[in-house]
Structure 1
Amino acid sequence: MELATLAPLLVVVLFGTLALGLWIGFALIVVGIVAMLAASSAPVGMVFATKVWGGLNVWDLTALPMFIWMGEILVRSRLSSDMFAGLAPFTARLPGRLLHVNVLGCALFAAVSGSSAATTATIGRMSVPELTARGYDPRVVVGSLAGSGTFGFLIPPSLILIVYGAATEQSIARLFLAGLVPGLLLAGLFSGYLMLWSLTHRDRMPADEAPQDRREALGALLRLLPVVGLIVVVIGSIYAGLASPTEAAVIGVAGALILAAATGAMSWRGFYEALQSATVTTCMIAFILAGAAFLTVAMGYTGIPRGLAAWIGEMGLSPYALLAALTVFFIVMGMFLDGISIVVLTVSIILPMVTAAGIDPIWFGIFLVLVVEMSQITPPVGFNLFVLQKITGEDILTIARHAAPFFGLLVLAVAILSLFPGLALWLPGTMLSR
């Protein structure tokens, strides 16, 4: 079958199966089967079995369920609420005051959970009722939380960076290091916007609260220490070369369990629910990875990636023009698919043309995650929007409007990263070249 006919057919099959409610992993398998039957005489069953086993039998993926479990333990323990209470006193003197707790809280929790949805849900349960009760504008509260919740994709240990590293055979340690500075940049952009907004909308800010004395500030700092200590141990062990990402993930789970038990914040029921939820999430991601592994080899049989790369090459696009086109493409994809699905579905097709354009695959992983973060706050399939809908009771489109300024800041972050690629490449080049 000609490529001009096969490519549209596969797109129709993909979106048709998704519209029928088929799980994403199985939808990818169906597309792969159709592609192989239409373009090759190779034995579909043998190829399927080989690629699914090879796609999942990757040691680096062992870190995935461990980091998910660590996040689930923290969600169900008192450590997350202690973290929120500990941050509040340190934002009192900043323009915007407690609004910054959303940004800082999400950045900290992302560093121990790796999940965007878990970060949004955990911080949202605490901050939305607290901030609205204190008189902060609900629109900015919800919008800043929706945007900041995306940090879970970028700030290490990021689940989506683990998936990208496994799919592209890139160093997960390098990806973690590469995501650190852009993650801090994004947090700085969000906090800067909140400062500017509060200074230009003084009438929508609550009255100043009484300042805390030193004893209260010290007590707040002590409540932060367990979570900060866990972050230092988990991430520091990777950066110092003492542990691989998988070993650090196991250390993180053990640390989270010890802290939860020491503070009396984890019951046996909570332990069971955390383990069950982590298992379900891991299996969901595993199905997607299995389907993507099979689809990747099926697409190779069709010749579509080679044809697409040749077509892009004939267009003579500069690297910046290529990145601009990919940004628009990923934003559109994000309206219909979740972040991990976008990565595993597209990376095998897009990475060859990206590397051919001279773009570093480590840098491209950070660029891809930044763009995919936008999918978390774009309707109709924005996971952060769904999480906040459950917390606030507002409809998806209203929450998306509240999050629109932070969507714009994500676009700005992509532009800055494209102009200054060293923001992502300097740290791994410095620390891992020793």
Structure 2
Amino acid sequence: MDLSVIALLLGLGMLAALATGIWVAVALFSVALAAMFFLVSVPAGTVMATTVWGAANSWDLTALPMFIWMGEILFRSRLSEDMFAGLSPWMRNLPGRLLHVNILGCGIFAAVSGSSAATTATIGRMSLPELRQRGYDERMAIGTLAGSGTLGLLIPPSIILIVYGAATEQSIARLFMAGVLPGAMLCVLFMGYVAIWALLNRQKMPEQEETMPVQEKLWATLRLLPVIGLIVGIIGSIYAGLASPTEAAAIGVMLSLLLSWASGTLNRTSFVDALMGATRTSCMIAFILAGAAFLTVAMGYTGIPRELAAWIGSMNLSPYALLIALTLFFVVLGCFLDGISVVVLTTSVILPMVEQAGMDLIWFGIYLVLVVEMSQITPPVGFNLFVLQGMTGHNIFKVAKMALPFFLLMILAIVLIVAFPGLALWLPQAMQGG
């Protein structure tokens, strides 16, 4: 049978499995087993056992549950309240005023969480009631939170970058460094849009609040010092070469426990809840990664990725045309799957094309995360939309409409990193050179 027909049948089989509502990992294993049983003569059980063990036996993946646990601990602490109190005095004189707290708060929490949904939920739990009480436009309050919450995927330590690095055998530390400047660029784009919107819609902004004395502002800023110390402890130790991402993750857990204890939110219940939440999430991701690793090996035996890469190469697509096609593909796929599933599901098929096109795999990882960020605010399966729907009671499509300007700004960010690859590659190259 022609390989293109086989690829089509396997793809339809995957879609059919996912459409039944079964777990993504089970769908991956099912399709891989079908390919091994019917298309090749290699013993499927032996290959599955060795592949799953190899996927699980990865030192880089040790950082994953640690960073997830750190985010769960901080989710149950007073961190969001401290960030709001520390940031809001400095935002009062900017166009858009406290709307910027959503963006900067998400950017800061993303640097200690790594999860998009946790970032959105934690900052939104504190900021939305405050902004609503002060009379801010609800569309912008929810839109800024939806867009900025996706920064949890990009700004290190990013869970999805750890997954991508493990799946593609790229350096986690270099991927973390590559996410810093694009993450900062997204914050600037979001804040610039909010400022322009506020200047053009003055009637929708609440009345100017009283200006705080500088001494009071500085006193309020002290509440930011713990989280800044946590960020410096994690990212600084990686960038300075003092710790690997796994060691930095352990440091982050210890510091987050210390912060939670100092704020009075650490007790037996919060500790157990955070530990169990991290365990459930880590097991889910590990199961998906094992299924993806087995599917990758099964596809390798069938020869489909090689044939697909050769077919793409024969079309003589320019790198830009390939990126446009991949962007559309990932956004559509992201409408039905979560970000981690999108990454592990596609890497085995996509990477041969990417390597043949001469793209840097570190840069491609940042591009991929940016596209996955976009899918977090696209219905019907945008995780950030689900979080905000639960918090606000609005229809998911109404929340998506509020987030649309920030979706378009993410497209602009992708255009910028394609035009200027150094935005993603300068820091990793500087780290490697150092």
TM-score by length of 2: 0.99
Q: CA deviation at 1:305?
A: 0.6
2:17 matched residue in structure 1: 17
Structure 2 residue identity aligned to 1:19: A
1:381-425 CA deviation, whole Å, 9 max, x = no partner? 100000001100111100000000000000000000000001111
1:224-267 CA deviation, whole Å, 9 max, x = no partner? 10011110111100000000000000000000111111221212
- Separation of aligned partners in 2, 1:402 and 1:59: 41
1:338 matched residue in structure 2: 338
Structure 2 residue identity aligned to 1:218: L
Which range moved further: 6-15 or 25-34? Answer: 6-15
Q: CA deviation at 1:152?
A: 0.5
TM-score by length of 1: 0.99
3-state secondary structure, aligned to 1:135 = coil
- Separation of aligned partners in 1, 2:7 and 2:84: 49
2:220 matched residue in structure 1: 220
1:119-175 CA deviation, whole Å, 9 max, x = no partner? 001001111111011111111111110000000110000000000011111011110
- Separation of aligned partners in 2, 1:154 and 1:238: 16
Q: CA deviation at 1:281?
A: 0.4
- Separation of aligned partners in 2, 1:340 and 1:18: 15
Structure 2 residue identity aligned to 1:159: I
1:358-394 CA deviation, whole Å, 9 max, x = no partner? 1100100000110111110000010000000110011
Q: CA deviation at 1:15?
A: 1.5
Does residue 255 (structure 1) correspond to residue 290 (structure 2)? The answer is: no
Aligned residue runs from structure 1 range 228-239, under 5 A = 228-239=228-239
- Separation of aligned partners in 1, 2:39 and 2:85: 59
- Separation of aligned partners in 1, 2:270 and 2:86: 23
Which range moved further: 79-88 or 188-197? Answer: 79-88
1:62 matched residue in structure 2: 62
What is the RMSD computed on CA atoms of the aligned residues?
0.9
Structure 2 residue identity aligned to 1:34: A
Aligned residue runs from structure 1 range 191-202, under 5 A = 191-202=191-202
Structure 2 residue identity aligned to 1:380: P
Aligned residue runs from structure 1 range 402-413, under 5 A = 402-413=402-413
Instruction: State the aligned residue count.
Output: 434
Does residue 370 (structure 1) correspond to residue 370 (structure 2)? The answer is: yes
Structure 1 residue identity aligned to 2:168: T
3-state secondary structure, aligned to 2:433 = coil
1:117 matched residue in structure 2: 117
- Separation of aligned partners in 2, 1:386 and 1:83: 24
Q: CA deviation at 1:296?
A: 0.3
1:427 matched residue in structure 2: 427
Identity over the aligned pairs, expressed in percent? 67
3-state secondary structure, aligned to 1:380 = coil
Does residue 148 (structure 1) correspond to residue 148 (structure 2)? The answer is: yes
Q: CA deviation at 1:78?
A: 1.2
Aligned residue runs from structure 1 range 84-233, under 5 A = 84-233=84-233
- Separation of aligned partners in 2, 1:141 and 1:179: 25
- Separation of aligned partners in 1, 2:102 and 2:190: 10
2:287 matched residue in structure 1: 287
- Separation of aligned partners in 2, 1:17 and 1:344: 16
- Separation of aligned partners in 1, 2:8 and 2:121: 38
Q: CA deviation at 1:187?
A: 0.6
